[in-house]
Each structure stands twice: as structure tokens, then as C-alpha cells.
Amino acid sequence: MSRLATHYEALRERFGNGRIDRDSAPHWLGPLRRRFVAADGASVLESALDRPTLATMGVGMTGPPHLGTVGQLLTAIELQEAGLDVQFVLADLEPYHGGGDIERIGRLAERYRAFALDLGFDPERGTLRTQSEATNAMATGHRIARYYPTEQGDAGADRPRTDWERAVDAAYEAAPGDDAPAPTSAAADAHSSVLHGADFLHPLVEGNYEQLLLVFGADESDLLPWARSFRDDAGISGRIGGLFTRMVPGFEGVPKQSKSTDAGVSLAEAPAAIHERIAAVRDSADPTDSTVFQSMCLASRYDAERLDALAERYEAGGEAWEAARREYAEYVAGLAERWHATAT
């Protein structure tokens, strides 16, 4: 079993999450099953199209999107097309705690909004918003702040770290960058967490939805029990389930693409350079650790059946896989062109 597959298995065991496969996924989730590595709250998933349910997710405003970020945006769109209402939050307030510039953050948030709409996010099937424009969610945050669970991110802190987690730690330590750590404080960190909790819980407080489906990357699995604890302590009604998307490995053996490492594809790069990088990468022999195949699983509009076929091509190798990789390189280069267009 690959390092990343072993990590997913450890996460499922650690948090008691289930797999998403052809047999266990609800019918509406079946075509999307390759996007996700774990789920929690089977009853929420099964009734998601029958009861008022909101899928909620978001991204930070620390820089242009990389493929993992693109995958979150496309996941939101796919969930809408599956029949769910979706809230997608552009987290534009948190960067201020690290000394962010108001004009830069505002411009970046508007580019993300334009990019999401261009990709196909439907504002009639949910909400695409920044944190700063949702004063009602801020008010909810103030009202429930006294119930804030201070143990966020500490679930399972005393358990052994997986090989994948240790590799991510090493990659961040080795990441380029000469800047001093951004200024922040314990108060700023707590304030950010309260606001994130309010972003999650406010739709239940408003009463428009009976159920939330929180969608996180697999490395944020601890946020689901934290959100449930916050809900329970604050006396908020409503059920909460969770879906966890797969991670996108970086190039040259780096375990994770992120804005902090130089091992991923940023849409700020020139489209031609992105195309060449994807088309020529020396990839893992295992599709679970493959930068290109795992990117296809998350940062594309391929459904599960097509991805099943692509996995077979990957394992067989040869021209059929190389053609699929070139096609995907063209797709991502096209995404970069669309991102660049948001600057005009």
C-alpha cells in the first residue's frame, strides 16, 4: 500500500470515518466517489436530497489557486450538479491576522469569485461569498463565541504521525522563503477559529437548513468533530455530516501540493509551462501516489467511471495513458488561462 493510501486508512481509523466506494455511496454521490477518501454521517448523506441540506466549504485567500484549490472549487460545482445547495466561503478575513494587505486581499477575493463563477458555480443553488460581507455570520460568531471549543486541531494529537504526515512536515521545513513569520497572536488565532465555526454553523442558526455537509480536505479531518462539539455546546439544532476530499501529491516526490511549497501547479504560472510540467513529469508507479492521476481525480470534471478507466490506463502504461496525460495537461493550461483572465 502506498504512503498516501496508508495515511487515508489511518485517518479513517482515527476518526471513525467510512470509505466511499461503488457499493456504499448514495446514488447521488456515486459519480463523485473518486473525489473523496472518507465520509462521516451516513444518515446525513443518505437523506441529503430529501431534507434541507447545505454543503459548505471554502478556501483561504493566501495566494493564487493551486490544483488542490481548483479541486475544491470543482467539487463545489459537482455537488451543486448532484442536487445539493452549496455555500462556498472565500476566507478573506483570516489573512489580516498575519499582516495581510486589505487591497491585495480584496482583489484576490474578487478574482476567486470571478473564477468560481466562470468554472460554473451557480449562485441560484447556494452562496458564493467572502467572510467580510457576511455580517450576519459574524454576529452569530459573537453570540456563540463563549462556547468555542479550544481543542480545535488537537484530536488524536498524542497518536503516532503517519509517514505521509512526517513527509509533509519535512517538505514545509524545506520550503523556500526568507520572510520572517507573519505577525499574529493567540487572540487572532482564536478569533479566526470562532469565525470559521460561525461560517459552518450560521446556516443552522438561521433555520433554513436541517443538515450540514461539511466538505474538507482529508488533512482537515479533525474539523468535523470540532464543529459538532461547537454545535452541541452552543445548543444549535441540526445534523452535521462530512465528506473528505483526497490530497494532491506534489511533483518530484513532495507529498502535498500547497501554496507554501514549490512542488505543485499554481494557476499563476504561464499556461505553456504548466502544460509542459504535467505532460513531462516523472510520476510514481502507484496511481495512489501519482501527481497527475490524483490531480485528475480531484481537479477535473471526470466522473468516477472515467477515472476508473484512466486508472487502468495508468497501470498499463503506454500511449493510451500518455494521451490522457496530454489531454489533462491541456485542460489545466486552459484553467490557468481562465485564471489569468480574471486579472483584466
Quick: pLDDT tens for 162-220.
999 999 888 888 876 544 456 678 888 899 999 999 999 999 999 999 999 999 999 99
pLDDT above 50 (res 223): yes
What pLDDT, on the 0 to 100 scale, is given for residue 181? 52
Alpha helices in 88-222 (DSSP H): 102-119, 135-144, 163-173, 186-206
| Domain map (residue ranges) of the chain | 3-245, 252-341
pTM listed for this prediction: 0.94
Query: Higher-confidence residue: 24 or 240?
Result: 240
Confidence band of 14 (pLDDT split at 50, 70, 90):
very high
Beta bridge partners of 215: 243
Q: What is the pLDDT of residues 230-243, one digit of tens each?
A: 999 999 999 999 99
Write down the pLDDT at residue 343: 94
Question: Pairing state of beta strands 53-60 and 126-130?
Answer: unpaired
Query: Which long-range contacts (C-beta less than 8 Å, at least 24 apart) are formed by 186-193?
Result: 188/97, 189/97, 190/148, 190/150, 191/97, 192/93, 192/94, 192/97, 193/148, 193/152
> What kind and span of H or E run contains 217?
strand 211-217
Residue 158 has pLDDT above 50, yes or no: yes
- 45 has pLDDT over 50: yes
| Mean pLDDT on 2-13 | 93
User: Which residues lie across from 36 on neighbouring strands?
Assistant: 245
Average of per-residue pLDDT values in the chain? 91
How many other CB atoms are found less than 10 A from the CB of residue 327? Answer: 12
157: confidence class by pLDDT, cuts 50, 70, 90: low
pLDDT of 155 over the 60 cut: no
Task: Report whether CATH 3.40.50.720 matches the domain 3-245.
Answer: no
Distance separating alpha carbons of residues 200 and 196, to the nearest angstrom:
6
Least confident of 7-11, 33-37, 151-155, 187-191: 151-155
CB atoms within 10 A of CB 179: 5
Please tell me the predicted confidence (pLDDT) of residue 176.
65
Mean pLDDT of 324-339: 97
